[in-house]
Amino acid sequence: MNSLGLALVGGLMILAGYALYSRFLATRIFALDDSRPTPAHELEDGVDFVPTNKYVLWGHHFTSVAGAAPIVGPAIAVIWGWLPAFLWVTIGTVFFAGMHDLGALWASVRNKGQSMGALSGRYIGGRGRNLFLVVIFLLLLMVNAAFSVVIAGLLVSTPTAVIPTWGALVVALAVGQAIYRFRWRLPLVSVVGVVALYSLIWVGDQVPLALPETVAGLPDTSVWIVLLFVYAGVASLLPVWVLLQPRDYINGLQLFIALGILYGAVLVARPEVVAPAVNGNVPEGTPSIVPLLFVTIACGAISGFHGMVSSGTSSKQLEKETDARFVGYFGAVGEGLLALGAIIAATAGFRTLADWEEVYSAFGEGSVGAFVSGGGAIVESGLGLPQSLSATILATTAILFAATTMDTGVRLQRFVVQEIGDLAGVRLDKGLATLVAVGVALALTFGAGADGSGGMLIWPLFGTTNQLLAGLTLSIVAIMLLRRGRTALPALVPLAFVGVMTLYALFIQLGTFWSERNWLLLVLDLVILVASLWVMVEAVSAMRAARRGGGDEDEPAEREVAASGGPRPPRRDDA
């Protein structure tokens, strides 16, 4: 199989999904309507609620949900062969991820920008909300702790990425000032920002920086982890337009340029995919492809973390409702294209099948390293860029997107801590809530030793927890649709598939943790399983009530929009 064919077929499938299916969802299912004021306007505070240009908001949303996961998951899953990973990424992006991300954004916008945890209280019930918050808290803890370890490891292994990684913060601060304070035109800001960022990548390739092996008794990896959490805590407290939003926007442009470089190299070099379509000779100890494929590849097909970003930060910045299609669904499209690029890099970036099998000698191998080295080899052969510079570009891309997910994750964790505090009758300001969010993640990261290895301690639970959260989010979207008298099939079909596969994987994990006597993960797995099943039971009950006509909250005008297949024009008093 030639990689060019893989890129063309996959890319066309994903883009066709945006052109056709997302339009159907926006008009017929969600009835997006620009005459309705969004929370960004109703609750504007200049900190979290900020009306934002849809292209800038797309950059924030896309890079927050992308992170390293759409690289890591596919680059691991190709151990079963490239075809299963390819099908799950393409079909999942179109019918699962796009629906989930757009649906979560719509649900939050229609409810004053509330998070999925808060919405579960309204649509599922008080018990459901409490259990939902438990799952969300644990997922964010996994993301923040593990991504700090991944980023720190890349900064140590790829010292050429240090300057562009930290220099990107300065670029982002300047971009934020240029857009909001000096009112520069967005195209000019975009060009200047991207040129500055890629100049830093070139400088970094020429001037690699590395910390001493130990600093104040801490290994270099641990020092990077601490610095990353200090940054994420500060970013969580700043107004979203100062750093988080412009950083994500520029990173989004940078990623699409990096993808353009990778796909351009594929077009020129047309390397053959050396990995088998379906691997019948997987290494010993590799788990069954069903159901593990569907939790190994989460971001890039469907991911519960996306619903938290959609309802946690993006819904508070949406300028008008119809922008949700571009921000939410096209955000999933961008991630699908990144996951497709990871599959190509991890299967066509090797000279021979033997070289590929040497890297994929055990389940869990490959990952970001296969993406960076394989993608670097493709870019070098296709475009003639030096291997070092190619690897620096891809490593910087991986780091920047993991970092944007981490800083958004800390901000979301702050919101969750405040929600939990409200339920307990304790009012927490954002500073104290941020300290709690960062403190818990640091405690986990360094709980197993000064090397920060604890950050990966509960990561084996991420895949199943993440996908269960996607199912819970889809259940809320389905309930809202049913209460409006709409068809909920676009939400129920992915909900059923993801729910069955994830629960199957969760039970397999229970057996693994029991045989390994890993009591910590066993107990946490049981907590997540019980909480999720309980919420699902409550959600099914709420769906039945909605189908019987209970709690119909639709408006006649909104039904007209869905029936006509398009939004109403804005009223004069909405101008």
pLDDT digits (tens, 9 = 90+) for 410-434: 988 998 898 888 888 888 888 999 9
Domain that holds residue 307: 3-574
* Cα-based torsion angle of the residue sequence 406, 111, 548, 535 in order, rounded to the nearest 10 degrees: 30
CA distance 25 to 208: 47
User: At 309, which CATH number?
Assistant: 1.20.1740.10
Average pLDDT, the chain: 87
Residue 574 scores a pLDDT above 60:
no
CB atoms within 10 A of CB 45: 10
Residue 550 scores a pLDDT above 80:
no
pLDDT band at 147 (very low <50, low <70, confident <90, very high): confident
pLDDT band at 110 (very low <50, low <70, confident <90, very high): very high
The structure tokens 């209460």 sit at: 483
**Percent of the chain surpassing pLDDT 70:** 95
* pLDDT, tens digit (0-9, with 9 covering 90-100), for 23-40: 999 999 999 999 999 999
CA distance 65 to 308: 9
CB atoms within 10 A of CB 103: 28
Residue 571 scores a pLDDT above 80:
no
- Which pTM value belongs to this model? 0.86
Per-residue pLDDT at 572: 32
User: Residues 446-454: what's their mean pLDDT?
Assistant: 77
| DSSP alpha helix (H) spans, 424-518 | 430-445, 462-483, 489-515
- Domain count across the chain: 1
Say how far residue 116 (Cα) sits from the centre of its chain. Answer: 15
3-class SS of residue 272:
strand
Burial level of 256, CB count in 10 A (0-12/13-18/19+)? middle
User: Residues 308-329: what's their mean pLDDT?
Assistant: 94
- The answer to which of 130-134, 432-436, 503-507 has the lowest mean pLDDT is 130-134
pLDDT band at 249 (very low <50, low <70, confident <90, very high): confident
